[in-house]
Amino acid sequence: MVIRKPSDLRYSQVTPKQAYLNRRRFLASSMALGALTTVPAARATTKLNGVGKSPYSTDEKVTPYDAITHYNNFYEFGTDKEDPSRNAGKFVTSPWSVHVEGEVVKPITLDLDALFKIAPLEERIYRHRCVEAWSMVIPWIGYPLNALLKKAEPTSKAKYVAFESYFDRRQMPQGMWAGIAFPYVEGLRLDEAMNPLALLAVGLYGETLPNQDGAPFRLVVPWKYGFKSIKSIVKIRLQEKQPPTTWNIAAANEYGFYSNVNPEVDHPRWSQAKERRISEFSKRNTIKFNGYGDQVASLYAGMDLRKNY
Amino acid sequence: MNRVLSSRWTKAAVFALCLVPLLLLGWRLLGFAIQGWQGYDPNLTADPIAYITHYTGDWTIRFLLITLSVTPLRKLLGLPKLARYRRMLGLFAFFYGFLHLTTWVWLDKFFDPHEMVKDVIKRRFITAGMTAFALMLPLAVTSTAGWVRRLGFERWQRIHRLIYFSALAGVIHYYWLVKSDVRLPLLYGGILLVLMLYRVTIWRRNAPRRRQATSPNTVYLRD
């Protein structure tokens, strides 16, 4: 005898919203010759007001928002470029707290609200060069890293700044396949960190950061390869010793501590001489320090950049 | 089942099926061609050239592995007619490999011979990929019945064992390319390993018999 129990589940409860929305989008786009692909994505971001301009901005053509938000290396959410946009949607970034600690006179703990109020927000349109030989132009919003560091008052022992990303296995289950260790860690020399180009970003395209781009709070170091610009920061530690960095731990011969953009020093497995600007067809030549040599070359005066790659 | 496999229609259907990856890619590019590039396309990602490169490369390795699984499946399932499909599948591996190479030559190197030679020599993952393709080339050329006759089956078969090395070079090419997530190259490598282990087992089992077959005694007996 079969007793049928009426199902008390609705379809919306068994099918994740993202899945059926994707299905609808897929149907819609295939019906329209596969061409109607620019369905606006739901944005979980909020508009940022009172954002100033910056003389450091480039006037190059800005990369489309959809490309910046669907072509990400954020291995905690998967290693495919599209994975972060698919998997980071439910990432909880509020509440959030960031600790500034170590060799500082005044250790600081910032909550989400305080993160936006360290210094006046400004838009910085930067070139972004990935170690994989592609690049973008991104209108970041944030303030100089040195504004935060100055508030903490580094001691005379502070020589390096170590950064750590948020990591939570439950929120980032795809991270276990990344092949690199988490939490993601990065670092800068103190003088690099104090350079006015080093930016702490809280937004892009006039809005707060989408999760896949490192919400709520990330580093942007435009003269270095993208992996130096650590995402979703929870800890900033000033210290005397050079901190370990994630990609250097994973493959020391391929990714150095400095990782300055440099067309003359190839990655062991591929050339760094050229790059593909995302959404452009042909390749362009890569410029040393990603074109920011005037501001940062002096930091490395007398250093062998082939050895300190 | 063998009757179905013998049918002309089945072969035509398999042929059409092998074209699906290409048609799918063409379909996606068609949307792009009609609309113009908006900077991002959910089907082609933000970097369509990288997408096309990976897509065609993926299908090359897949077809190599599918081709290599024909013989084990034929023997294990007792379906001798599967052999009819081996050449076609192998040629599709070559076809997708050719598209993959063309993408690189055209959209990555823009036909610059100097750049290409430099890359092949200097970049080990490109050296491996080029090796994989070069090894497929003689197989594609000698894939016709005429060539089997001209070379004699034994010699033809020996040459066509190059596919093992082509597939191996293809997997190494992929493994050397990825940054840290080696799951897919390892999966392909694992499948190749299983397919090769099967062959090694068969060869070892047959080896003593073959030796016996070529000894003068046996020849005498057979006479």
- How far apart are the C-alpha atoms of B66 and A204, rounded to whole Å? 46
Contacts 24+ apart (CB under 8 A), A215-219: A215/A45, A215/A91, A215/A93, A216/A93, A216/A94, A216/A96, A216/A112, A216/A115, A217/A96, A217/A98, A217/A115, A219/A145, A219/A163, A219/A186
- How far apart are the C-alpha atoms of B124 and A213, rounded to whole Å? 32
| A 209-268 near B (Cβ less than 8 A) | 250-251
- Does B217 map to a domain? no
CATH 3.90.420.10 fits A40-131+138-248, yes or no: yes
Instruction: Give pLDDT, residue B43.
Output: 86
Asked if B163 and B70 touch (Cβ cutoff 8 Å), the reply is: no
Residues of chain B with C-beta less than 8 angstroms from the C-beta of A87: none
Contact B123 A270 (CB under 8 A): yes
Confidence of residue A21 (pLDDT cuts 50, 70, 90): very low
Hey, is the C-beta of A276 within 8 angstroms of any chain B C-beta? Answer: yes
In a mutagenesis test of the A interface, which of B27, B30, B179, B183 is the best target, namely the one with the most A β-carbons within 10 Å? B179
Q: Can you tell me which residue has the tokens 């580093």?
A: A219
- How far apart are the C-alpha atoms of B105 and B222, rounded to whole Å? 55
Hey, is the C-beta of A282 within 8 angstroms of any chain B C-beta? Answer: yes
The answer to whether residue B216 scores a pLDDT higher than 60 is no
Contact B40 A132 (CB under 8 A): no
- Does B219 map to a domain? no
Residues of chain B with C-beta less than 8 angstroms from the C-beta of A34: 27-28, 30-31, 43
Element (H, E) at A136: strand A134-144
- How far apart are the C-alpha atoms of A233 and A216, rounded to whole Å? 8
Q: A236 pairs with which residues across the strands? A: A100, A163
- Does B168 map to a domain? yes
- How far apart are the C-alpha atoms of B94 and A171, rounded to whole Å? 42
Instruction: Give pLDDT, residue B105.
Output: 96
For A279, left (φ over 0), alpha (ψ -120 to 50), or beta? left
Instruction: Give pLDDT, residue B212.
Output: 56
Confidence of residue B14 (pLDDT cuts 50, 70, 90): very high
| Tokens describing residue A95 | 């509440």
The burial class, CB within 10 Å (0-12 / 13-18 / 19+), for B60 is buried
Residues of chain A with C-beta less than 8 angstroms from the C-beta of B125: 269
Q: Global pTM?
A: 0.85
- Does B150 map to a domain? yes
- How far apart are the C-alpha atoms of B132 and B61, rounded to whole Å? 10
- How far apart are the C-alpha atoms of B18 and A45, rounded to whole Å? 43
- Does B143 map to a domain? yes
Helical segments of chain B, H only: 2-6, 8-35, 48-77, 86-103, 113-122, 124-141, 145-151, 153-160, 162-177, 183-214, 216-222
Question: CA of B133, closest CA in chain A: separation in Å?
Answer: 19
Domain span at B22: 2-207
Q: A78 to chain B: nearest residue by CA?
A: B181
Q: Where do the structural domains in chain A lie, given as residue ranges? A: 40-131+138-248
Residues of chain A with C-beta less than 8 angstroms from the C-beta of B181: 75, 79, 177-179
- Does B218 map to a domain? no
Instruction: Give pLDDT, residue B209.
Output: 65
Question: How many beta-carbon pairs under 8 angstroms link A with B?
Answer: 92
The answer to whether residue B40 scores a pLDDT higher than 90 is no
Asked if A72 and A81 touch (Cβ cutoff 8 Å), the reply is: yes
Residues of chain B with C-beta less than 8 angstroms from the C-beta of A227: none
Q: Residue-wise over A125-138: b if at least 16 C-beta within 10 A, else e? A: bbbbbbbbbbbbbb
Q: What is the interface pTM, i.e. ipTM, of the complex?
A: 0.85
- The beta-carbon neighbor of A35 closest among B34, B45, B47 is B34
Residues of chain B with C-beta less than 8 angstroms from the C-beta of A278: 39, 46-47
- How far apart are the C-alpha atoms of B216 and B50, rounded to whole Å? 59
Instruction: Give pLDDT, residue A43.
Output: 55
Instruction: Give pLDDT, residue B31.
Output: 81
> Which pLDDT tens digit goes with each residue over A82-141?
999 999 999 999 999 999 999 999 999 999 999 999 999 999 999 999 999 999 999 999
**DSSP assignments along A86-132, one per residue:** HHSTT---SS-EEEEEESBSS-EEEEHHHHTTSS--EEEEEEEE-TT
The answer to whether residue B219 scores a pLDDT higher than 90 is no
As for how many domains chain B has, the answer is 1
| B 2-21 near A (Cβ less than 8 A) | none
Asked if B69 and B196 touch (Cβ cutoff 8 Å), the reply is: no
In a mutagenesis test of the A interface, which of B181, B182, B183, B184 is the best target, namely the one with the most A β-carbons within 10 Å? B181
Question: CA of A95, closest CA in chain B: separation in Å?
Answer: 31
Is the pLDDT higher at A20 or at A260? Answer: A260
The burial class, CB within 10 Å (0-12 / 13-18 / 19+), for B209 is exposed
Q: Which amino acid is at A45?
A: T
Q: B106 to chain A: nearest residue by CA?
A: A282
- Closest to A203 (Cα-Cα) out of A275, A98, A112: A112
Instruction: Give pLDDT, residue A19.
Output: 47
The answer to whether residue A290 scores a pLDDT higher than 50 is yes
- How far apart are the C-alpha atoms of B26 and B45, rounded to whole Å? 15
Question: CA of A183, closest CA in chain B: separation in Å?
Answer: 15
Average pLDDT across chain A, whole number: 89
The answer to whether residue B86 scores a pLDDT higher than 50 is yes
Hey, is the C-beta of A189 within 8 angstroms of any chain B C-beta? Answer: no
The answer to whether residue A16 scores a pLDDT higher than 60 is no
Contact A66 B124 (CB under 8 A): no
Element (H, E) at A294: helix A293-296
Contact A282 B110 (CB under 8 A): yes
> Which pLDDT tens digit goes with each residue over A188-225?
999 999 999 999 999 999 999 999 999 999 999 999 99
Hey, is the C-beta of A70 within 8 angstroms of any chain B C-beta? Answer: yes
Asked if A292 and A286 touch (Cβ cutoff 8 Å), the reply is: no
Which of A35-44, A231-240, B34-43, B56-65 is the least confident region? A35-44
**DSSP assignments along A214-258, one per residue:** TTT-EEE-TTB-GGGS--SEEEEEEESSPPP-HHHHH-TTT--SS
Residues of chain B with C-beta less than 8 angstroms from the C-beta of A255: none
